[in-house]
Amino acid sequence: MGVDRRAFLGLVAGGAVGTMFTPIPWKLLDDVSIWTQNWPWIPKVPKGQIDYVTTTSKLCPAGEGLKIMRVAGNPITASGNPAHPLSSGGVSALARSEVYMLYSPARVKSPMKKSGKAFVPITWEQALIEMADKLGAAKGSVACISGDQSGTVNEVLSAFVGKLGTAGYFMMPSEATTAAKGMQVMGGKGQAGYDFENADTVLVLGADIFETWGTSTRNRKAFSAKRPVGVKPASNYIYVGPTRNNTAAVCDQWIPASAADLGVVALGIAWHLIKAGATSAAPGFDTLRAVVNGGFGPDDVKRATGIEPAVLAGVAKALASSKAAMVVTGSPFGQGLGAGAFMAGMALNILLGRINKPGGVYALPELATVVPGAMTREAMLKADLPGFLKAVADGKKPAPKALLVYDANPAYGLPEAATMAKALEKIPYKVSFSSFMDETAAMCDLVLPNSLTLERYDDVVTPYGSGFCIYSLVTPYQKPVHDTRPTGDVILALARKLSIELKFDNFLQVLKEKVASLAKTSGGFVAKDVMPWQVAAGKPAPALAGGDLWKALSAGYAWTMVGSVTQTGLGFAPEVLAKAVKPGKTSGKTVTLAPYAQLRTGTPTTGIPCQDLTMVPDTELLGETTMVRMGSATAKALGVKPGAMVKLTGAGTHCKAQVHIFESVMTGVVSAPLGFGHTAFDIFSKGKGANYLALLPVTEEPGTGMSMWAAAEVKIA
């Protein structure tokens, strides 16, 4: 018995032939397409139930409400929340990054302690013990820098630092700091809020309202609503600034003017308005008229800015004849503008009678603080961080013994970087609560990573630019990816260790108390069917259903309130205006540097979100080189060729750049992108281009004494 060779071969051959008549070989062949799709090293997509939850973006300064898609409970993507007044379904490239930035390679994965030049991981308990010890020793001289413009966590931090003995509580400079200073000098109260939704003629002085200024996503939604596709626009937007930036690209008119001249332009328009009969009962009107007539007539403005008298007359006419005109002033790159330009812009709003009117500027009240000993936002915005650090660097002020840095990156995000770094180095003990290993964190003795938006409870309270008071909640939807903790909780734990009484055990309690206090505020309502701008326009505000506020906020709705602080002394402050608003000057071989910022390159605290690098055009960043933009006339005057590598020198330092000819930059100006030149973070940020903010020297604004750096001369060679 057995199978002989012949039978075996026959069997094999017969089997082979027989198989050819079955679908097996053909099926196997066809399956190759599937095998070749699913290599083991190609990631598999997750499977599971899809659902949607809501929260609010903390990475994006525009404060959009977010709709998070989850699969099997894991966040997948972030979209705009259509029900949220600051989003209406829109989302910025930065807010879109909220989910994947949880896994950014730049994240600090656990508490880190500086050891020599490197960091070593330590436990939270060790970190708290060390910090309690060091801060206890530094009592009376602890400073804090916060980059969170809109969170209640500032109350916890400021109360904590206050009770330790403060050397100053500083906000990173922004449009809000400028506006707060301006309002204060003009004798006004409250936070300037802009009702874009109801405005029909908007004069934008410098502010990049559709990119980085204030509630930019909401601003664009409001702009879009008045301009249905394919129909004649129902609004008129005029942009004044050094470049036709992203905002100016969609405005109806662009008037080229240097950031240093924005106040001059505003007062030049005031001249036309006053000549046409505009008047005001606000204090200082007569002096203002004299100031305007004395130095801001059409010829003066033309001499200073090159703007034709007819152009400004046209703007004045458009504003005066409009039912709802509004003037918005800001820095083209979101910081460094002196209060003078802001005040000049506000002067126009007052002249036009647009304060606390629908489609105008509201003076928004601040929500009550809940943490005992906390500073108000108004008080926080008063401090001048660049001025302080400069004084520390120069030895004019003593360096604080300890510094806490929350959600801020002053080593990168401030002007005159060399000076700021020098000041920071003088501070002997520094702690950063950054989520990412940024430039400042890299300088600190201790890094205590903050949990990210989707990992923590937090809130967004009336971001600057919003036309109404707004409160929205940040809700965690997953356990922290790394060994991170919400800074609010860390500070409260630390306070207990130092026996400092802050009333709360954890940050969630603070938020609950904050929400409870909102429920008691009259006039507030949950924006659901009725939006705050509709209320501003006259629609009755719905009543707040008592008790359900936390639930409504958790469901992604925002608490809003339309209203304004009663003004007692808001006036023109013409004496200060006369000193602060002066024509800028350019001379010889220098040009004016006009930086611009975009949300796609993140903020100083986020670095460039890894997916957003793809959004950066190759006319901005190519390989490791950033490009600066200038018109062909400027390039010719400087003797530089398109594509040439140049060196920009200013504020005692220099940066490299490639020349990109772009004719929508006014002559005599070189426009440079911000958000590049990181020396920290990850492969998506580090070593990409140069940080042109470092080229801007900090100067003191005459009249207000405020630090400013909106436009500076640089040398190009």
Partner 1 sequence: MSGHSFKEFPITWGMVIDIDKCTGCGACMASCQTENNVNPQPEATNKLRSTSWMLVYELTNDKAFPDHDVAFLPRPCQQCGNPPCVSVCPVVATDKNEDGGIVSQIYPRCIGCRYCVAACPYHVRYFGWYDPIWPEGMTKTLSPLTSVRPRGVVEKCTFCHHRWNLAKDAARAAGKDPEDLEDGAYVTACVQNCPSGALSFGDLKNPKHKVHELIKSPYAFRLLERLGTKPQVYYISRREWVRKLGDNYLKSEKTE
Partner 2 sequence: MSFIDIEKNWYPEGVTRCGLGKFMGWLGFLGVIALFGLIAMLVCFYYGLGVTGLDNYFGFGLWITFDLAVIALGAGAFFTGLIRYIIGVDELKNIINLTVIKGFICYSGAMLILSLDVGQPIRSWFGYWHPNVHSMLTEVIFCITCYLMVLIIEYVPLILEQKQLNKIPFLHNLAHQMHVVMPLFAGIGAFLSTFHQGSLGGMYGVMFARPYAFREGFFIWPWTFFLFVLSAISSGPCLTVLICGFMEKLSGRKLTTYRIKSLMAKIGGTMLLIYMVFKYLDTWAWINGVLPRAGLTFDQMFYGLVYGKWLFFTEIVLCLPVPVIFLLTPLRKKPAFMYTGAILACLGVIINRYVFTVQALAQPVLPFTKWVVYSPNWAEWATSGMVIAYGFIIMSLSYRYLPIFPQEVGLNKK
Q: Which residues bind partner 2 (CB under 8 A)?
A: 29-30, 32-33, 36
* Binding track, positions 570-599, relative to partner 1; x by CB under 8 A: ----------------------------xx
Burial environment of residue 424 by CB neighbours within 10 A (0 to 12, 13 to 18, 19 or more): buried
* Binding track, positions 199-218, relative to partner 1; x by CB under 8 A: -----------xx----xx-
Q: Which stretch binds partner 1 (CB under 8 A): 88-96, 297-305, 579-587, 649-657?
A: 88-96
Out of partner 1, partner 2, none, which partner does residue 29 contact, by CB within 5 to 8 A per kind? partner 2
Out of partner 2, partner 1, none, which partner does residue 102 contact, by CB within 5 to 8 A per kind? partner 1
Q: Please give the Cα distance from 59 to 547 (Å, whole number).
A: 30
Q: Based on CB atoms, which residue is closest to partner 1, 215 or 564?
A: 215
Pick one of 58, 134, 390, 600: the residue that binds partner 1 (CB under 8 A): 600
List, in sequence order, every residue forming a beta bridge with 649; answer none if it has no partner. Answer: 654, 715
Cα 109 to its chain centre, rounded Å, is 25
Q: Indicate whether 234 belongs to the interface with partner 1 (CB under 8 A).
A: no
Pick one of 15, 105, 372, 542: the residue that binds partner 1 (CB under 8 A): 105
Burial environment of residue 492 by CB neighbours within 10 A (0 to 12, 13 to 18, 19 or more): buried
Q: Based on CB atoms, which residue is closest to partner 1, 378 or 483?
A: 483
In the complex, the smallest distance separating the C-beta of residue 36 from partner 2, rounded to whole angstroms, is 5
On whether the CB atoms of residues 161 and 143 are closer than 8 A, the answer is: yes
Q: Which stretch binds partner 1 (CB under 8 A): 5-13, 495-503, 585-593, 631-639?
A: 631-639
200: DSSP letter: S
Pick one of 223, 296, 468, 557: the residue that binds partner 1 (CB under 8 A): 223
Q: Based on CB atoms, which residue is closest to partner 1, 468 or 596?
A: 596
Q: Indicate whether 44 belongs to the interface with partner 1 (CB under 8 A).
A: yes
Q: Based on CB atoms, which residue is closest to partner 2, 30 or 286?
A: 30
Q: Based on CB atoms, which residue is closest to partner 2, 33 or 49?
A: 33
Q: Indicate whether 84 belongs to the interface with partner 1 (CB under 8 A).
A: no
Out of partner 2, partner 1, none, which partner does residue 221 contact, by CB within 5 to 8 A per kind? partner 1
Q: Please give the Cα distance from 440 to 461 (Å, whole number).
A: 26
Pick one of 220, 289, 354, 678: the residue that binds partner 1 (CB under 8 A): 220
Find the binding residues for partner 1 in span 440-479 (CB under 8 A): none
> What phi and psi, each to the nearest 5 degrees, are found at residue 600?
-70, -20
Q: Indicate whether 36 belongs to the interface with partner 1 (CB under 8 A).
A: yes
Pick one of 2, 23, 43, 546: the residue that binds partner 1 (CB under 8 A): 43
If phi > 0 it is left, if psi is from -120 to 50 it is alpha, else beta; for residue 639 that is: left
Out of partner 2, partner 1, none, which partner does residue 21 contact, by CB within 5 to 8 A per kind? none
Q: Based on CB atoms, which residue is closest to partner 1, 284 or 595?
A: 595
Burial environment of residue 323 by CB neighbours within 10 A (0 to 12, 13 to 18, 19 or more): exposed
Q: Based on CB atoms, which residue is closest to partner 2, 23 or 277?
A: 23
Which helix (H) or strand (E) is 648 found in, with range? strand 645-650
Residues in the interface with partner 1 (CB under 8 A) total: 84
* Binding track, positions 250-269, relative to partner 1; x by CB under 8 A: x-----x-------------
Residue type, 486: P
Of 138, 116, 113, whose CA–CA distance to 127 is shortest? 113
On whether the CB atoms of residues 596 and 208 are closer than 8 A, the answer is: yes
Helix (H, G, I), strand (E, B) or coil at 450: strand
Q: Indicate whether 48 belongs to the interface with partner 1 (CB under 8 A).
A: yes
Q: Please give the Cα distance from 256 to 259 (Å, whole number).
A: 10
Q: Indicate whether 71 belongs to the interface with partner 1 (CB under 8 A).
A: yes
Q: Which stretch binds partner 1 (CB under 8 A): 122-130, 176-184, 605-613, 637-645?
A: 605-613
In the complex, the smallest distance separating the C-beta of residue 614 from partner 2, rounded to whole angstroms, is 13
Q: Based on CB atoms, which residue is closest to partner 2, 21 or 35?
A: 35
Question: Hey, what long-range contacts does 610-619 have (CB within 8 A, 24 or more apart)?
Answer: 610/97, 610/100, 610/101, 610/104, 610/105, 610/682, 610/684, 611/96, 611/97, 611/100, 612/93, 612/94, 612/97, 613/684, 613/688, 615/93, 619/660, 619/662
Cα 333 to its chain centre, rounded Å, is 10
Find all residues with CB under 8 Å of 508, minimum gap 6, and list them.
457
Q: Based on CB atoms, which residue is closest to partner 2, 29 or 229?
A: 29
Pick one of 1, 29, 45, 281: the residue that binds partner 1 (CB under 8 A): 45
Q: Please give the Cα distance from 401 to 100 (Å, whole number).
A: 37
Of 631, 593, 590, 579, whose CA–CA distance to 711 is shortest? 593
Residue-wise DSSP of 363-410: EEPPPPP-STTPPPHHHHHH--HHHHHHHHHTTSSPPPSEEEEES--H
Burial environment of residue 255 by CB neighbours within 10 A (0 to 12, 13 to 18, 19 or more): buried
Burial environment of residue 426 by CB neighbours within 10 A (0 to 12, 13 to 18, 19 or more): middle
In the complex, the smallest distance separating the C-beta of residue 369 from partner 2, rounded to whole angstroms, is 53
In the complex, the smallest distance separating the C-beta of residue 365 from partner 1, rounded to whole angstroms, is 27
The CA–CA distances, whole Å, from 58 to 70, 176, 451, 583 equal: 19, 17, 11, 38
In the complex, the smallest distance separating the C-beta of residue 402 from partner 1, rounded to whole angstroms, is 34
Print burial letters for 599-610: b (CB count within 10 Å at least 16), e (below 16).
bbbbbbbbbbbb
Q: Indicate whether 4 belongs to the interface with partner 1 (CB under 8 A).
A: no
Q: Based on CB atoms, which residue is closest to partner 1, 521 or 534?
A: 534
> What phi and psi, each to the nearest 5 degrees, are found at residue 663?
-75, -10
Out of partner 1, partner 2, none, which partner does residue 388 contact, by CB within 5 to 8 A per kind? none
Pick one of 75, 268, 359, 574: the residue that binds partner 1 (CB under 8 A): 75
Out of partner 1, partner 2, none, which partner does residue 217 contact, by CB within 5 to 8 A per kind? partner 1
List, in sequence order, every residue forming a beta bridge with 713; answer none if it has no partner. Answer: 592
In the complex, the smallest distance separating the C-beta of residue 639 from partner 2, rounded to whole angstroms, is 25
Out of partner 1, partner 2, none, which partner does residue 79 contact, by CB within 5 to 8 A per kind? partner 1
Q: Indicate whether 97 belongs to the interface with partner 1 (CB under 8 A).
A: yes
Q: Indicate whether 96 belongs to the interface with partner 1 (CB under 8 A).
A: yes
* Binding track, positions 644-673, relative to partner 1; x by CB under 8 A: -------------------xxxxx------
